[in-house]
């Protein structure tokens, strides 16, 4: 079988010993890693058909984005300076929900996936289905996301969730258009699991009861049972905003984490996003049950949600990955995400060791893989694991003088430093060029789709608004 050798000044393995190999290499055959070690030795031993990487390059596992929503891609640059409920009220309004269609889903996903590949993200979690109106077939929506991945050269690995809301709280003026029957949702989810969750698939389905305010107790129990019976995971957004936690407390007499434990939704095969408003007792429950967490340091600050006590979670033994969430409210830059994690928690704890560069890299790779239940196959460069690998160009001034590249990756790295992205052994980007995508053509189509959606949904005012009185033009191209 033809072999590929990927070399660099440094190889960050993220293996259990956290080896960083100077002048190292990774040898790949097919979609699997065959060897990791000294570059000269591996080249002599395997005589690879092809060699990439080289001087002033760093080789590492691709990033694992543990939370995102492809669905919002076309709308991510409107409605600045609002909290979560402001976004729901002003963007996910009645007109948008009435007009959103599968073409919008497809181009949102294509855009997100293209940027993720160019940013070194090789695996991404996506929660799209629940946030679309019930009139849209869940199966058609998932199929469009899968088609977007296929049309992006296979795309990153995708974990896509399937679920539905069955109560109206917190969903804004269009709430009733979201609601779906739990048993119908169960049927759709099981059908999609059967279709996509084959052993070697790079596109997989989880169940979800996506938000405690919008989901009944029955919904949580049914979605968890699907995950248990199908050997997969389930997911929810949890304790993101203070008013959400207060509402659950008023209704149940319990914290949100206590409530979810009472309905059987804390477990090793459950992932929560956010968990901002949790206390030590909640964290202890997460740790005891093995429930996973995805942390969104950029999104939570953009929405003024608050700051999740992630250092306390990690200290308690909770597995925590990093998630961009909604394009990080402007982009899919994982380097910026890691830097934000570090400086945010150093500042709020006044402890310079509360969030280190090493921990940020762990959370972005192997811990993210654990959070998605995939650490046996991705998240580190080890023999037998899938070849999800990126090459980072560290010759730029932002990495100079290259004394400690781990530090420059987190505090100085840029998405544009990623030179090569490989998913499942397939080179999707090389020399900053997507190999299976006409980028200019896709960019034009995405731009047209975004303006078309904005106008159909009557959201043009959000594209030109300014909270400081600026005169901002409408940037729709003439043709």
CATH number for the domain running over 63-371: 3.20.20.140
* Residue 225 exposure: Cα atoms within 13 Å on the Cβ side: 12
Nearest to 162 by CA among 135, 187, 144, 199: 187
Nearest to 114 by CA among 58, 63, 156: 156
* Residue 429 exposure: Cα atoms within 13 Å on the Cβ side: 31
How much is the average pLDDT of 184-191? Answer: 97
At 460, is the pLDDT very low, low, confident or very high (cuts 50, 70, 90)? very high
At 471, is the pLDDT very low, low, confident or very high (cuts 50, 70, 90)? very high
**pLDDT digits 0-9 by tens, 197-250:** 999 999 999 999 999 999 999 999 999 999 999 999 999 999 999 999 999 999
468 Cβ contact partners less than 8 Å away, ≥ 6 residues apart? none
Domain ranges of the chain: 3-61+385-433, 63-371
Residue 94 has pLDDT above 90, yes or no: no
Distance CA 20, CA 22 (A): 7
At 328, is the pLDDT very low, low, confident or very high (cuts 50, 70, 90)? low
43 Cβ contact partners less than 8 Å away, ≥ 6 residues apart? 5, 7, 25, 51
142 Cβ contact partners less than 8 Å away, ≥ 6 residues apart? 129, 160, 162, 192, 196, 205
Would the CATH topology of 3-61+385-433 be identical to that of 63-371?
no
CB 234 within 8 A of CB 206: yes
How much is the average pLDDT of 112-141? Answer: 96
Distance CA 223, CA 136 (A): 20
pLDDT given for residue 81 in this prediction: 92
Q: Alpha-carbon dihedral of residues 309, 310, 315, 316, nearest 10 degrees?
A: 70
pLDDT given for residue 79 in this prediction: 87
Sign of the alpha-carbon torsion through 335, 118, 447, 159: negative
- What is the architecture of the domain spanning 3-61+385-433? Roll (2.30)
Distance CA 439, CA 134 (A): 33
The tokens of 28 are what? 């790949």
Q: Say what percent of the chain tops pLDDT 70.
A: 99
Least confident of 50-54, 131-135, 202-206: 131-135
């Amino acid at each position: 079988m033809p072999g590929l050798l990927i070399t660099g000044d440094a190889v960050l393995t993220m293996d259990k010993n956290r080896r960083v190999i100077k002048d190292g290499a990774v040898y790949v055959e097919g979609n699997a890693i065959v060897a990791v070690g000294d570059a000269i030795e591996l080249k002599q031993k395997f005589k690879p058909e092809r060699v990439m990487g080289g001087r002033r390059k760093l080789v590492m596992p691709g990033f694992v984005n543990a939370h995102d929503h492809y669905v919002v891609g076309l709308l991510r640059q409107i409605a600045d300076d609002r909290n979560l409920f402001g976004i729901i009220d002003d963007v996910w309004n009645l007109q948008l929900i009435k007009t959103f269609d599968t073409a919008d889903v497809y181009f949102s996903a294509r855009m997100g996936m293209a940027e993720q590949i160019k940013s070194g993200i090789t695996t991404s979690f996506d929660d799209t289905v629940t946030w679309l109106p019930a009139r849209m077939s869940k199966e058609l929506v998932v199929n469009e996301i899968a088609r977007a991945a296929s049309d992006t050269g296979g795309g990153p690995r995708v974990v896509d969730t399937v679920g539905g809301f069955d109560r109206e709280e917190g969903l804004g003026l269009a709430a009733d258009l979201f609601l779906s029957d739990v048993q119908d949702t169960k049927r759709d989810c099981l059908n999609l699991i059967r279709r996509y969750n084959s052993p070697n698939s790079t596109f997989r389905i989880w169940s979800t009861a996506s938000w405690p305010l919008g989901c009944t107790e029955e919904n949580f129990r049914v979605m968890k049972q699907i995950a248990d019976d199908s050997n997969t995971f389930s997911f929810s957004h949890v304790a993101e905003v203070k008013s959400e936690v207060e509402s659950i407390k008023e209704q149940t007499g319990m914290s949100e984490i206590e409530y979810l434990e009472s309905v059987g939704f804390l477990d090793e095969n459950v992932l929560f996003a956010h968990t901002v408003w949790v206390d030590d007792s909640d964290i202890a429950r997460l740790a005891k049950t093995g429930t996973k967490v995805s942390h969104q340091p950029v999104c939570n600050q953009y929405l003024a949600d608050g700051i999740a006590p992630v250092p306390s979670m990690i200290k308690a033994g909770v597995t925590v990955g990093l998630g961009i969430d909604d394009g990080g409210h402007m982009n899919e830059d994982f380097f910026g995400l890691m830097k934000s994690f570090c400086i945010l928690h150093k500042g709020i704890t006044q402890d310079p060791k509360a969030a280190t560069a090493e921990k940020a890299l762990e959370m972005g790779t192997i811990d993210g893989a654990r959070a998605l239940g995939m650490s046996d196959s991705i998240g580190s460069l080890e023999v037998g694991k899938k070849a999800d690998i990126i090459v980072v160009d560290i010759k730029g001034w932002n990495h100079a003088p290259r004394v400690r590249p781990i530090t420059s990756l987190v505090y100085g790295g840029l998405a544009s430093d990623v030179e090569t992205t490989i998913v499942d052994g397939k080179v999707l980007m090389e020399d900053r060029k997507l190999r299976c995508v006409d980028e200019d053509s896709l960019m034009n189509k995405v731009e047209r789709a975004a303006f078309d959606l904005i106008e159909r949904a009557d959201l043009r005012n959000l594209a030109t608004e300014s909270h400081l009185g600026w005169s901002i033009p409408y940037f729709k191209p003439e043709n």
